[in-house]
Structure 1
Amino acid sequence: MTAAIVLAGGRAARMGGADKASIDIGGRTLIDAVYDALAGADPVIAVGPQSVSRPGVRVIREDPPFGGPVAGLAAALGAVGDSAEVWLLACDLPRAEAVVAQLRDVALAAVDDAVVLEDADGRIQWLAGRYRTESLRRAIAALTSARDASMRALTAGLSLRTVVDRAGAAIDLDTWDDVRDYRLTTRTVDTEDES
């Protein structure tokens, strides 16, 4: 069974400190879209406030809070247990199901530490991937400190297998403009589908 870690503990500074995980997109919150995508993962660990708690999800927090994604990941890894692999997803992926669908059946070669999406601009999406648990633990142990460390620094020594995101699944919603544009785009698509 593959474990899952969902990072939902950021400040959402570009959204004025809003509770990003609770933003409604098409009648479903962002965090619920991610949880739905991870159906079957066990355990599911969310790093963030208690508001992201759902049945079957264990919520933890890095200490002190707001230490960045690597600090959140480091805190969550202690709760993953002996799962060989772990999904690592941000909470602001409205197309999380398409992320998982593109990566689920990609086998990791012996030299691979992870499989992650690469967006249309060639950027690696570290928070849209499936990692070997021990590889993440080793990478975190190699850092001077997990607090305020970047995902780029964490993954610098890892062998990442990339999959080109052909579904636009790696889109994340970091600003209110992103949310507005995504809602408009999906509403347009829904309207076209109905006609």
Structure 2
Amino acid sequence: MSITVMILSGGRSRRFGGVHKPGVRLGGQTVISRILGTVRQAVPEAEVWVAGTTVGLTDAEADSVGSVREEPEFSGPLAGIEAAARTMGDSEVTVILAGDMPLVRPDHLRALIAASRESGLPAAGVDDRGKLQFLCAAWPTALLRRRLADIGQTQDRAVKLLFSGLEVAPVDVDPAEIVDFDTPEEYERVAVRVEAADTIGSLPGASDVEATKASPGARAVPEQVLRMRDLAATELPEGVWMTDAEVAAVLDFASHIKHSDSSLSPVLAAFLAGRLHSAVPREGRASVAEALARVEQILTRPRG
């Protein structure tokens, strides 16, 4: 199966102070380098085109992709898609990716490709509110080109026109995975998530995370965290113990606090929850998750 991927990188970034968003750095890499790396992990054999400037790619990365500009420049992502579709070779499926979406995962890209191939429809990520992400989608290439021809004029027109009147194959995705950024404030929030993802990804045993989930839908617990839990248990009073599910609840809570707009320290909040949980006799003790929720309720209560 032949795959083409187009990364859209031609915007003005007005709300970002005119700084080229794909070229800014996150955790030691530029945004566009991260996206290209994800594409190479997902579909190493894909033909990749950048619609817009390649600023932010290394020389080697830039040499490995095709590059095309929309006409006229800065005339919108739909015009960029048309320019890439007109220049690239034939393929079975084409993936369209925004150039400011650094948290997209390889498995999501593979799921989009599979859904489009199996259905013959455009496939797009859909979050828990039913919202589709039009700029993280996979298309049958022939259908994409027909839709562009039907639209005709693409300059300064909305990408959702491609999807108008078409059935879409939805692929469930965590909205945090397909988040983009338009403002400095949104960039800071994405930077926090990138830091957390890079930290978890660097832990020993992180590649085996799926096998260590405590329950369906629970956060995956890296082996290093579980080993630390087991070591700490030797210093705790008899009968004080945290199950894998409770460890997962603490990790979820810390992530929730860290990624929220709250000024709470995740470490302090988790510590207080642990104290609240262990201070109550076991027969009347709340679950760790309930203790965490109670601590957040107390610490975020309006004063006065």
Q: Tell me if TM exceeds 0.5.
A: yes
What pairs with 1:168-183 in structure 2 (closer than 5 Å)? 168-183=176-191
Residue identity opposite 1:9 in structure 2: G
CA contact (8 A) 1:119 1:170 kept: no
Q: Which residue of 1 aligns with 2:137?
A: 129
Alpha-carbon distance between aligned partners in 2 of 1:189 and 1:79, rounded to the nearest angstrom: 35
Alpha-carbon distance between aligned partners in 2 of 1:89 and 1:57, rounded to the nearest angstrom: 14
Q: Which residue of 2 aligns with 1:48?
A: 52
**Correspondence for 1:59 among 60, 67, 83:** 67
Gaps of 5+ in 1: none
1:188 and 1:74, CA in 2 relative to 1: closer, same or farther beyond 3 A?
closer
Which has the larger helix fraction?
A: 2
TM-score, normalised via structure 1 length:
0.88
1:88 positional shift: 0.5
Alpha-carbon distance between aligned partners in 2 of 1:128 and 1:36, rounded to the nearest angstrom: 15
TM-score, normalised via structure 2 length:
0.58
SS in 2 for 1:92: coil
CA contact (8 A) 1:70 1:149 kept: yes
**Correspondence for 1:100 among 104, 109, 117:** 109
Tell me how many residue pairs correspond in the alignment.
Answer: 194
**Correspondence for 2:155 among 147, 157, 162:** 147
Q: Which residue of 1 aligns with 2:25?
A: 24
Output the aligned Cα RMSD. 2.2
Residue identity opposite 1:137 in structure 2: R
Alpha-carbon distance between aligned partners in 1 of 2:70 and 2:76, rounded to the nearest angstrom: 9
State, as a whole percentage, how many aligned pairs show the same letter: 27
1:101 and 1:148, CA in 2 relative to 1: closer, same or farther beyond 3 A?
same
Gaps of 5+ in 2: 204-223, 226-304
Q: Deviation per CA, 1:96-137, whole angstroms, max 9, x where unpaired?
A: 234324434435345x32111012332110111111111111
Which has the larger strand fraction?
A: 1
1:181 and 1:78, CA in 2 relative to 1: closer, same or farther beyond 3 A?
same
1:173 and 1:113, CA in 2 relative to 1: closer, same or farther beyond 3 A?
same
Specify which structure has the bigger relative contact order, considering alpha-carbon pairs within 8 angstroms and separated by 6 or more residues: 1
Q: Deviation per CA, 1:38-71, whole angstroms, max 9, x where unpaired?
A: 1124321101124255121111101110111110
1:147 and 1:41, CA in 2 relative to 1: closer, same or farther beyond 3 A?
farther
Q: Which residue of 1 aligns with 2:219?
A: none
Name which one, 1 or 2, has greater alpha-carbon Rg. 2
SS in 2 for 1:31: helix
1:167 positional shift: 6.7
Alpha-carbon distance between aligned partners in 1 of 2:87 and 2:115, rounded to the nearest angstrom: 25
SS in 2 for 1:138: helix
Stretches (4+) displaced over 4 A: 188-195
